[in-house]
Structure 1
Amino acid sequence: MSLSLIIKREFNSKVRNKSFIVMTFLSPLLIVAMGALVAYLAGVNKDVVNKIAIYDTADLLKDDFKDNANTKYVDLSAMPLEEAKKIASEDYAGLIYIPVTDSITQLADSKIEYLSNDTPNLEFVSTIEKVANEKITKYKLKQLGFDYDKIEEAKTRSKIYLSKFSGEETHKEGSIIKIIIGGLFGYLIMMFVIIYGNMVMRSVIEEKTNRIIEIIISSVKPFQLMMGKIIGTSMAGILQFIIWTILGLGLFTILSSVFNVEMGATAQTEEVAQSMEGIQLYISELWKLPLMTMFISFIIYFIGGYFLYSSLYAAIGAAVDSETDSQQFLLPIIMPLMLGVYVGFFTVISDPNGTVATVFSMIPLTSPIVMMMRIPFGVPLWEVIVSMVILFATFFGVVWFAAKIYRIGILMYGKKPTYKELFKWLKY
């Protein structure tokens, strides 16, 4: 049995699986549906108006709380405090209690309370603090002889326009798109490595448990069998990703067209028009990214990262008799993947070309994730090439000792191996 036959067998067994076919075509639709559901749920409470009671007998702040689309303030200061609390607890979302003080400046040291039956919204609590702070600040400035209104008029809100030395105009929305796309690619690689790596491990354990492996191993070398499983499963994964990409771009194009049609077909309010303009800006910034470079890099890093980790998954599958026994060996594999995600989100976002991000984009166990998060921000070609070379060189090294574990463990039954025994197998 040749390597090509093993690859073909593994590939066919994956792509002809009903769950593989269903999830390949259903996943993009589920993602779009989930996004639509989140957008719908986010807008459900937009029309809900919360009634907030205010108790301020000294008239210090109650006039500073202004009604808006989601909040309406009602003054209950005329009635006794206990009665106001009782009414507010039954008919209002909460009660703002402003104690009596000798002057407004003492409000900072007094105990302004917000009473409610439920945990308050942190944004609303910040609104209360902002109102109090502005009132106190305005009063103190007036006491010092400053005109607060003139100070407010003097405040300037400037907008910074971004551009490259080449003259190309960019926008800050482009950075947001780069963060989202880079994070998405890095997270996808982590998930694909874990999902397809586990598929390789389960396949090895299943054949080993059913004793099919004893028949297969008589006509093929253990190394060929291991590589056939890894390559066959990776080809199925790449096919699935390509289908997802085509469907995703198709859905994205349809949604873009829908937004354009809506903007031209109906008279929009100024707010909606600005929202649509913002969406178009994000879309235009997305098309400015090196999409083809990112796609090719994703395929290469997916193959390299998948081969690297799947060889370890295959070795673990050969060393154990059940998935339960494999748990003790999976943590050292998953930890570098998680580290790559954390490094990506906490360092690449803030400084994509910094030392930490650059170093971890060269370390083969984390480079598939971290480098994919860096590429949208612009990475020198030589860094990408060096990172890929190190990744594949490490893969060949890992395959060498993983094959030794696979060769010994594939015919071992009934005993749970330890790390010490695995190291002994490397010497055989």
Structure 2
Amino acid sequence: MGVLSLIIKREFISKVRNKSFIIMTFVSPLLFVAFAVLVGYLSSLRSDMKHIGIHDESGLFFSEFKSNDLFNYTDVSLIDEKILKDSVSLKAYEGILFIPKFDNLKEYENGIQYISDESPSLQFVSDLEKTMGNKLTRINLTNSGIDTLKIDEAKADISVNLVKASGEETVKGLNEIKIAIGALFGYLIMMFIIIYGNMVMRSVIEEKTNRIIEIIISSVKPIYLMMGKIIGTTLAGILQFSIWAIVGGILMLIANTVFGLNTSSPSMDMVSEMNPDLISTIQLYLKEIAMLPIGSLIFFFLIYFIGGYFLYSSLYAAIGAAVDNETDTQQFLFPVIAPLMLAVYIGFFTVMNEPHGTVATIFSMIPFTSPIVMLMRIPFGVPIEQIIISVILLFATFIGIVWFAAKIYRVGILMHGKKPTWKELLKWIKY
């Protein structure tokens, strides 16, 4: 263990003293806060109002269009069509909606044109079609002798109240909140694995290229060297994340004071102006969030973080030992990253809909996907026996992967000048 601790110390010190590490440790929070300030500023800006001219020869539709903060509708029915088209080219109008007059209402379905230099958004076109379609529908109903006022009065707006079996009222969208919390923790694990796993791999390649490793390996067992690199890099990464959190928090506080970013809670005046139903809904959301197993989620986040990171870092170290440069790593990296991508896909498209379904349960047990999928399931309430089985499988697989990776590391670390294949890696494992 004394040798392992020396390797960990050496790896940690070499990482934190590296110029790029120091620069990124303190520059990254600045970039993050600058990005947050920019997004906050851009979100506060209103989009330029777009002026839309409506040339309605029928006189049926213009009254249906209501101007708002984004679109200003102007009746240009008395202006010549040629002049209106020129006004679009001159940017006087964003576009012109030409509605001719037809004797048969059916002809309106394919007889209306919207002229503009720039292609309008699908949402805008859909709104135009919906507005005019509703108008024609009402006219058709009226012509058929159907009272549209009675139809409007007969329309019902249903709002289902959600209640637990215990009788307590709950809120809509709670599943989305749960998946967002679980996804945040899962994303942190994935980001840490990719960033610092690559750092482990580059460190191995660098020492292998410089031939330093040949001297070190003569007095240290390969598995100690590999684990020392992984643990040392992990400690450096945790230090970097901690600094990011502290510096980022301070910078956000400064940005809030200097630039007036509204990151604080609503004032009492704002709360007093809220609708009582809205206040009650907010209180229900806060109550439901407070009831989530946040403590368990944080605890198991640490467990899955350790197991998942060590598992993947062992693979990254083995890849670094097998190649001579980063270019040659591409053929080996995709099989490593693919399970992480699959875990994210399963999390968002399966766990959200069926957190206790067969697919979600199976992938929360598979060690290569469990660090992400299980963390997305925990907010929904997972039986403790499933979590225990998942953790046991994760750490058992980690031990097995370390054993295999150490064999590749032992042979590959002394190999130079040849691009390895998957077949050769399998041979190295048998040595």
Q: Which residue of the partner structure matches residue 62 of structure 2?
A: 62
Taking a change above 3 Å as real, the CA distance of residues 32 and 87 of structure 1, as seen in their structure-2 partners, is same
- Show the 5 A alignment for 1:333-352: 333-352=336-355
Please say if residues 53 and 88 of structure 1, whose CA atoms lie closer than 8 Å, have aligned partners that are also in contact.
no
Taking a change above 3 Å as real, the CA distance of residues 346 and 166 of structure 1, as seen in their structure-2 partners, is same
> Residue type of the partner of 1:177?
I
Q: Distance in 1 between matches of 2:280 and 2:24?
A: 34
Between 1:9-18 and 1:313-322, the stretch displaced more is 9-18
The offset of 1:226, in angstroms, is 0.7
> Residue type of the partner of 1:96?
L
The offset of 1:329, in angstroms, is 1.2
* Secondary structure of 1:309's aligned partner: helix
Q: Distance in 1 between matches of 2:107 and 2:206?
A: 73
- Show the 5 A alignment for 1:352-371: 352-371=355-374
Asked if 1:99 is matched to 2:103, the reply is no
Taking a change above 3 Å as real, the CA distance of residues 390 and 290 of structure 1, as seen in their structure-2 partners, is same
Q: Which residue of the partner structure matches residue 35 of structure 2?
A: 34
Taking a change above 3 Å as real, the CA distance of residues 111 and 382 of structure 1, as seen in their structure-2 partners, is farther
Asked if 1:311 is matched to 2:310, the reply is no
Q: Distance in 1 between matches of 2:223 and 2:411?
A: 11
Between 1:78-87 and 1:236-245, the stretch displaced more is 236-245
Q: Which residue of the partner structure matches residue 427 of structure 2?
A: 424
Q: Deviations over 1:356-378 (max 9, x none)?
A: 22222121111111122222222
Please say if residues 205 and 320 of structure 1, whose CA atoms lie closer than 8 Å, have aligned partners that are also in contact.
yes
The offset of 1:384, in angstroms, is 1.8
Q: Deviations over 1:290-313 (max 9, x none)?
A: 222222222111111111111111
Please say if residues 321 and 408 of structure 2, whose CA atoms lie closer than 8 Å, have aligned partners that are also in contact.
yes
- Show the 5 A alignment for 1:235-250: 235-241=235-241
Q: Distance in 2 between matches of 1:38 and 1:179?
A: 24
Between 1:303-312 and 1:151-160, the stretch displaced more is 151-160
Please say if residues 94 and 117 of structure 1, whose CA atoms lie closer than 8 Å, have aligned partners that are also in contact.
yes
* Structure 2 unaligned residues grouped into runs of 5+: none
Q: Distance in 2 between matches of 1:242 and 1:380?
A: 32
Taking a change above 3 Å as real, the CA distance of residues 375 and 312 of structure 1, as seen in their structure-2 partners, is same
Taking a change above 3 Å as real, the CA distance of residues 105 and 39 of structure 1, as seen in their structure-2 partners, is farther
Please say if residues 105 and 140 of structure 1, whose CA atoms lie closer than 8 Å, have aligned partners that are also in contact.
no
One of 316, 325, 328 as aligned partner of 2:331: 328
Asked if 1:193 is matched to 2:193, the reply is yes
Asked if 1:112 is matched to 2:116, the reply is no
* Secondary structure of 1:45's aligned partner: coil
* Structure 1 unaligned residues grouped into runs of 5+: none
Q: Distance in 1 between matches of 2:280 and 2:32?
A: 24
- Show the 5 A alignment for 1:180-219: 180-219=180-219
Asked if 1:156 is matched to 2:160, the reply is no
Q: Deviations over 1:175-233 (max 9, x none)?
A: 33223222222222211111111111111111111111111111110011111111222
Taking a change above 3 Å as real, the CA distance of residues 248 and 223 of structure 1, as seen in their structure-2 partners, is same
> Residue type of the partner of 1:190?
M
Q: Deviations over 1:75-95 (max 9, x none)?
A: 122133222222233200111
Query: Which TM-score applies when normalising by structure 2?
Result: 0.88
> Residue type of the partner of 1:144?
S
The offset of 1:97, in angstroms, is 1.7
Q: Distance in 1 between matches of 2:119 and 2:371?
A: 42
Between 1:155-164 and 1:85-94, the stretch displaced more is 155-164
> Residue type of the partner of 2:320?
G
* Secondary structure of 2:103's aligned partner: coil
CA RMSD of aligned residues (A): 3.1
Asked if 1:74 is matched to 2:74, the reply is yes
Taking a change above 3 Å as real, the CA distance of residues 373 and 332 of structure 1, as seen in their structure-2 partners, is same
Q: Distance in 1 between matches of 2:409 and 2:186?
A: 29
* Secondary structure of 1:97's aligned partner: strand
Q: Which residue of the partner structure matches residue 134 of structure 2?
A: 134
Asked if 1:227 is matched to 2:227, the reply is yes
The offset of 1:327, in angstroms, is 1.5
Q: Distance in 1 between matches of 2:139 and 2:394?
A: 63
Taking a change above 3 Å as real, the CA distance of residues 304 and 93 of structure 1, as seen in their structure-2 partners, is same
